[in-house]
Amino acid sequence: MYKVIDGKALAAKMREDIKQKVQASGKNIGLAVVLVGDDPASQVYVRNKIKACGEVGIKSYAYRLDKDATQASVEELVKSLAEDNNVHGILVQLPMPPHIDSKKVLSHIPCKKDVDGFCAENIGKLCMNEDCLVACTPNGVMQMLASEGIELKGKNAVVVGRSNIVGKPMAMLLTNADATVTVCHSKTADLKQVCLNADVLVAAIGKAKFITADMVKEGAVVIDVGMDRDENGKLCGDVDFENVKEKCSYISPVPGGVGPMTITMLMYNTYLAAVRS
């Protein structure tokens, strides 16, 4: 029998705790959120991030720039936020329009305000298992595993996807937790066989229902990071939930799984950035 990991409920509980921490800090904590262009998914994510700030008592500063905004204008905005003492965290929503060099934009975010955990210093510290701001989605996954008391030491963990935002930091967190980690991607030979070896399988591919029941070991823990649309345009994950669930000990759904936890960890990182400033 499988158990569904309820990310929404865990997120609500953690947000209550973060709200208390924010209050107890006695600080006016601020998060700047920058959105360039009109990507519909990004608009939804940004709206949810701003809403979460309100829930936990963090002041949000939203900057919505036109899709034709110049490289210089985006860079100038981020540089000014870097100097702004009311802003403890800076989040630049990705992807940005193709004419924008996002790497250059992100380079202006000081590491102590890098609440996404994307900068080289934070990634390097994570790699060395040192205290740092950890990328929100993988950190949310770790909280979900911990909330169920899922043991990682000595387990085979397979991460499907090698993005800088999810796959790579996820692999480091699992490694730091003493799992034996394999990272798979589009060029992996015999992906199915590798996945079948997973005690813990994290799907971060970006393809609807890509992980099918024949790829999952009996009793595995399956965490779905995907945010995709199925053939009817309905929101779904990277895992074929209905067919995979019967093989699992634990499985996270989409929606209501990792998504709410990503935003919760962003709130937590903003709190950490503020109390450390």
Helix axes 258-275, 7-25, angle to 10 degrees: 10
Q: Is 62 in the site for ligand GUN (CB under 6 A)?
A: no
Catalytic annotation present for 49:
yes
Answer whether 169's CB lies under 8 Å from 126's CB.
yes
Q: Is 90 in the site for ligand GUN (CB under 6 A)?
A: no
Q: Is 60 in the site for ligand GUN (CB under 6 A)?
A: no
Q: Is 139 in the site for ligand GUN (CB under 6 A)?
A: no
d(CA 27, CA 16): 17
Q: Tell me the window of 4-12, 87-95, 180-188, 267-275 that interacts with ligand GUN (CB under 6 A).
A: 87-95
d(CA 229, CA 201): 21
d(CA 119, CA 58): 23
Q: Is 94 in the site for ligand GUN (CB under 6 A)?
A: yes
Indicate the burial class of 156 (C-beta count within 10 angstroms; 0-12, 13-18, 19 or more): middle
Contact with ligand GUN (CB under 6 A) among 5, 56, 63, 137: 137
Residue placing its CB nearer to ligand GUN in the complex, 215 or 267: 267
Joined tokens for residue 255: 């929606």
Joined tokens for residue 159: 């991460």
Catalytic annotation present for 93:
yes
Contact with ligand GUN (CB under 6 A) among 93, 122, 252, 269: 93
Torsion angle in degrees (nearest 10) through CA of 184, 186, 190, 193? 40
Joined tokens for residue 62: 């939203």
In the set 6, 112, 113, 116, the catalytic residue is 116
In the set 93, 168, 209, 228, the catalytic residue is 93
Q: Tell me the window of 79-87, 88-96, 145-153, 249-257 that interacts with ligand GUN (CB under 6 A).
A: 88-96
Catalytic annotation present for 240:
no
Q: Which residues bind ligand GUN (CB under 6 A)?
A: 91-94, 116, 136-137, 165, 262
Q: Which of the residues are catalytic?
A: 49, 93, 116
